[in-house]
Amino acid sequence: MAKIAINIATGSLQQEEIIVGIDLGTTNSLVAIMHPESKKPVALKEYNSSLPAGQAGSLVPSVIHFGDNKNITVGEEAKQYLVSDAANTVFSAKRLMGKTYKDVRHHITSLAYKIIDENNKPVKVQVGNTFYSAVELSALILKELKKQAEHILKTTVSKAVITVPAYFNDAQRQATRDAGKLAGLDVLRIINEPTAASLAYGFGMPSQSHPSGENPVGGEQAKIIVVYDLGGGTFDISVLNITGGIFEVLSTNGDTYLGGDDFDLAIIDYWISENNLDALHYRQLLRLNAEAAKKQLSSVAFYETVYEGITLSLNREKFEHLIKPIIEKTIVCCKQALMDAGIKKNNINEIVMVGGSTRIPLVKEMLSAFFGKKLNDSVDPDEVVAMGAAIQANILAGHTTDMLLLDITPLSLGLETMGGLMDVLLPRNSKIPAKASRQYTTYKDGQSGIKIAVYQGERDMVKDNRRLAEFNLTGIPGMPAGMPKVDISFLINADGILVVNAKELRSGIEQTIEVKPQFGLTDADVEKMLLDSMEHAKEDMDIRALTEAKTEGEQLLQTTEKFLQKHFDNLTQIEIAATSLAMQALQLSLELNDKNLIQTKTEELNDISRPYAERIMDLAIGKAMKGQQI
């Protein structure tokens, strides 16, 4: 049923429904729209300048407090309870999206609320006797953002574009979309934060659409843009090629568990060590002061506060010493992103800064030194992502037709084939939306089902990759091995979510699933998967070649065995003896795991069996055609 937009203030019908852009952040969240008059993206706190700072429309802290009588507050009001009622106040819920207890167990000591182990299912937070998933927690934040947007805009808000880190996997993207639905929002698009940021900076846009009224790209000229996005809980680095309004993501890298929160933890650990404090008792107080120190030390040289006779102090030199290793991790990601894109530093035209953590001077210094260029931080790093989401919302609303976003998938996607091999259907850095399909068949006579296991990763063996999902295509009519034709297709939609379809073409049996992984990537999984694929490239190639040779050899042995049983009376004793010896030699080579030997013995068995197989085939055809006229 179609929805009609109604202006809440006047009760009148609204000609056009507003689509908002939402930055659902780890630390803060924000709503933005395209201003109907200026046609520029604006954060809602700027939409109504008469609103006092801190009221509806400003940055909303991504904090939720569960009070008495199920009284739930979100944002600034909830933030007040971080110390006084820490166990019932949840922060950094975004870091729990699509994660299991195994993924976050090393970080639990930094949280004041209780995380429940759900046996390899997405984690839940326990508040009193109630359990909340990361989706439900995020939905509460989105509900607050929706309410504030409706208060400011004086109209119903039901459609949104929501941003996610580029390195969010399928589970985390699904979780974000589900949270939107739970909050009463029709999520039209999930867009990567770096791509949103490049939109907000005005790259590839007409000059009147840029926040500053300028066109940094300069017409149709192609530009290479690097977006460095260091937020509260996640880090992304994306390399984009922008030409004539087409945004093409060349590569992306990052860490879904690295950000400003880690700077805070480094300060906390330092203070605990220096003052010999009870970490459990003071954890939340230390976290708030660490966040304050981080912000203050971005502009002054010294921070100090006293609480219950305990002095917490930190100078900028020590602060930078503590966080330098964390920033270096982001530099490693930058190097990998450039390598994946095939881009050299001197080819880069702009490096834009996104995320509140990029305000830290050392971050800028180290990044500028790495690229050897001046950084572009002209747009408020806290607002830039939401503003980009608003521009994407405007594109979806049909108001901007001269722009096209081409995102990519960060890791290869494929299936498990015989021998535990990874058969890649969509290579990493494939443009999305994207679709790929391939035909497979059965391995045994009369096989009625096929197990379809979907994997993500860069290694040749599935055991070294990450399993996303597994399902069975059943009901295949009994046919000889190799006769069924099973078409398996992968579709990554515009939100980066994978849909897998399997169809047996002869019978029409079909099954489709939307891949929802049971567990998320751990902190270093993405980076480790990429590095491992390079470090073990030679080893993987050798293993793949051996596995393929063994699979071919095993299939030939089975086929030959069945052929001998069926046509024994049509073969000479010499042919039977020669075939048996060749089969024994091939079987021995399989046990020796020597690829070259297996291939040699496979070819020898083929050479021996080919002449009589062709002879028997000719006899069969002749018998079938007897009395027939062509």
Residues designated catalytic: 23, 94, 193, 229
CA distance 505 to 507: 6
CA distance 595 to 589: 8
Which tokens hold the place of 308? 């219950």
Which tokens hold the place of 55? 């009221």
CA angle 331, 336, 339 (to 5 degrees): 130
Asked if 204 and 217 touch (Cβ cutoff 8 Å), the reply is yes
Q: What is the largest CA-CA distance in the chain?
A: 108
Burial, 563: exposed, middle or buried (Cβ in 10 Å; 0-12, 13-18, 19+)? Answer: middle
**Nearest CA among 551, 534, 549 for reference residue 464:** 534
Cα dihedral 390, 395, 396, 399 sign? positive
CA distance 414 to 502: 13
CA distance 378 to 201: 8
Which tokens hold the place of 532? 């491992």
Torsion of CA 209, 214, 219, 220, to 10 degrees: -60
Measured in whole angstroms, the distance separating CA 214 from the mean position of its chain's CA atoms is 33
* Residues with Cβ within 8 Å of residue 603, at least 6 apart in sequence: none
Phi-psi region of 368 (alpha: psi -120 to 50; beta: other; left: phi over 0): alpha
State the CB neighbour count (10 A cutoff) for residue 580.
13
CA distance 403 to 386: 18
* Residues with Cβ within 8 Å of residue 126, at least 6 apart in sequence: 113, 114, 115, 116, 132
Asked if 16 and 7 touch (Cβ cutoff 8 Å), the reply is no
Which tokens hold the place of 108? 């639990």
For 266, list phi and psi in degrees, rounded to 5. Answer: -65, -40
Single-letter code of the amino acid located at 489: S
Q: Provide the 8-state DSSP code for 122.
A: B
The beta strand positions in 478-560, using DSSP E, are: 486-492, 498-504, 510-514
Phi-psi region of 184 (alpha: psi -120 to 50; beta: other; left: phi over 0): left
The beta strand positions in 391-528, using DSSP E, are: 404-408, 413-417, 421-426, 431-432, 434-440, 449-456, 466-474, 486-492, 498-504, 510-514
Helix (H, G, I), strand (E, B) or coil at 30: strand
Helices (H), 91-192: 101-104, 134-153, 170-182
Which tokens hold the place of 6? 């109604």
DSSP 232-287: SS-EEEEEEEEETTEEEEEEEEEETT-SHHHHHHHHHHHHHHHHT--HHHHHHHHH
Single-letter code of the amino acid located at 269: D
Helix (H, G, I), strand (E, B) or coil at 2: coil
